[in-house]
Structure 1
């Protein structure tokens, strides 16, 4: 069989969750399937060494073009050219006018409510992306052979909104990259701290401008609802956030005098992320909504305790291995930070529970499940 995998952003330098999952899926399929022919459709980018084609795995690379044009025009042409039997669209959307059977990974429908603060907020790129998804996804779902999503929470939300029958939607959990199971050496940690001028002790947070990430609430919690002692001992290291965006939020919180408590490190490459988790004392993931929450598991794998949210998919993924709070209550989040950093028994309990929790998630398991779905879908074509 000739199976196509849409991986438009596979080679981009700044990968995020969905890109990482697709990369792990393709690498896993490469290990377990030596029979079927795979065609990975992607665009050129700055990280083309992340995946090496093999005998039955071919990368079909195109030039850079706007996402909608590539997906609606370039991708269908490639699917027909390579005589694809089944196309897996991996990142929420896909071509609307294609006779080839489609499996769609729909990670979430956070974008669907145009009036919500999460869907209409963020930068221009994020808002346009949500608009595109709102236009495409409702029209694409009836054309798909199967919908795949990443948690029971996401599955329930998708079924509730679109009325999809159980036989047409399946949950497949993401896994954890083996990279996070490698413990960095003292030398590697020392080099990391020097490169990024990291403080001796810090709390770690991904602070991009996507509204669901709860940037303002997290800064408010750390700067205004932890003790002066904690803020003197620890700094909040924030990844993937520009200075101008930090200043904007600090001004809205009337906290400009606390700028020195925040340490920005920019976007972190996957290979360095492991060392960041190991170097951190605590990881904060108090999102307003997530369909999975991969960094929760990545932090646990590195032995760093997690504070996350008690809503959406996060309790499902974290289980009892994270301290869960109301993300809309900065005071509650600040108190949770105080508790984890102050009580050694609580800290160690979260570490131990985290190591047990991660055993439930595996990219090998994910890949085998996806492989079965490919084969069963192809047989029904």
Structure 2
């Protein structure tokens, strides 16, 4: 009898969990959040052969070529299944208020993984975990659209209350969540983002030239890559660029790479026009993921002047390729880079322009930064991030 109880208890402990992950952002040409979920799923697929995964999307991969291509790149094993909950896309409100809750009531799972917003009215027995990239809307509300700000201020507190686990992408993000929402420590975890496997490998000279022509890039340039939202502080970068002395700016251009998507900072166009920089500042648009490493390699230096971040994946991508980097001295950048990149005081325009001048003109500094960046970036890997996320799932499974 005692042996039977022991076997039953052991079976209970090793029982697989059914884990649903919202992958709607995969294949949508988004930036940070797509990178996070794509690489997290890809690495979970390698390390976890025990649990069952249901990858929930709002499009049919048969009809959506971008989604289909992304799913093929994930190389999913048999315990991972993609489920189109609806087709043709869904807005955030209808997805969280109706479409996803309805699916989960009819198809119970043990754990649900989302980002930011947890769906309304999902069964209480489902353990929810949400990834929070940043809470910039609390720090810089004036840089967020009024409608977006209303929904974030209304929905995030409800989501954090419903979530059984809240995962920040940095220790800084967790500290911000605690500060603004007074969440108990036992609900909080943190992971670090990383760079895609093979990101820095096999970049051929022919590929570099092909990418240069594809995006009409200049021969020598300062690179920024990411969203073009107001909190990215790109007008300040334009001003720092024009303050570089003429003799040190000869043949040097500025490339601001990113799509003119949601919440585009219109001051970028205004500054380019007002300063007469149409031939000096290039906006190549969204960069395909397959071309991103090549663009970094083509850059003379990389600059990431953001006012606020939760992590800052582009900095880590630049570091992984040894591209000399200048970044704002905000806490998450310090957490990621330690002393491996050049930092400027984002409250001091003169410090920004002086540091930008120095990094573009000092060969010895750039060489030193390259070595430090390569060493520091080696500390980050999606495999170890996925392993930590899997441990979080295992802890949640014990709560079921």
| CA-based RMSD | 2.0
1:278 maps onto 2:304 in alignment? no
User: Does the 8 Å CA contact 1:277/1:304 hold for their aligned counterparts?
Assistant: yes
> Which one of 26, 35, 49 corresponds to residue 34 of structure 1?
49
CA distance in 2, matches of 1:172, 1:5: 17
- Give the equivalent residue in structure 2 for 1:7: 23
1:240 maps onto 2:265 in alignment? no
> Which one of 359, 362, 365 corresponds to residue 378 of structure 2?
359
Aligned-pair distance for 1:254? 7.3
User: Does the 8 Å CA contact 2:167/2:188 hold for their aligned counterparts?
Assistant: yes
- Give the equivalent residue in structure 1 for 2:209: 190
CA distance in 2, matches of 1:179, 1:238: 24
> Which one of 144, 147, 167 corresponds to residue 166 of structure 2?
147
1:20 maps onto 2:35 in alignment? yes
Q: Which moved more, 1:49-58 or 1:315-324?
A: 49-58
CA distance in 1, matches of 2:45, 2:248: 47
- Give the equivalent residue in structure 1 for 2:316: 297
User: Does the 8 Å CA contact 1:29/1:371 hold for their aligned counterparts?
Assistant: yes
- Give the equivalent residue in structure 2 for 1:70: 95
Aligned-pair distance for 1:221? 0.9
- Give the equivalent residue in structure 2 for 1:133: 152
CA distance in 2, matches of 1:209, 1:51: 27
Partner SS for 1:148 = strand
User: Does the 8 Å CA contact 1:218/1:330 hold for their aligned counterparts?
Assistant: no
1:181 maps onto 2:192 in alignment? no
Partner SS for 1:182 = coil
- Which sections of structure 2, spanning at least 5 residues, go unmatched? 1-16
Question: Is the radius of gyration larger for structure 1 or structure 2?
Answer: 2
Aligned-pair distance for 1:15? 2.2
User: Does the 8 Å CA contact 2:31/2:227 hold for their aligned counterparts?
Assistant: no
- Which sections of structure 1, spanning at least 5 residues, go unmatched? none
User: Does the 8 Å CA contact 1:321/1:354 hold for their aligned counterparts?
Assistant: yes
TM-score (normalizing by structure 1): 0.92
- Give the equivalent residue in structure 1 for 2:7: none
> Which one of 90, 97, 119 corresponds to residue 121 of structure 2?
97
Aligned-pair distance for 1:183? 3.9
CA distance in 2, matches of 1:23, 1:155: 22
Aligned-pair distance for 1:85? 0.7
TM-score (normalizing by structure 2): 0.87
CA distance in 1, matches of 2:171, 2:315: 17
CA distance in 2, matches of 1:341, 1:148: 37
The C-alpha deviation readout for 1:49-78, integer Å capped at 9, x for no partner, is: 112343110111122121111122111122
Question: How many correspondences in the alignment?
Answer: 370
The C-alpha deviation readout for 1:343-365, integer Å capped at 9, x for no partner, is: 11111111000001111111000
- Give the equivalent residue in structure 1 for 2:135: 109
The C-alpha deviation readout for 1:199-249, integer Å capped at 9, x for no partner, is: 1111101364312100211111112x2111233221001112559x78853
1:120 maps onto 2:145 in alignment? no
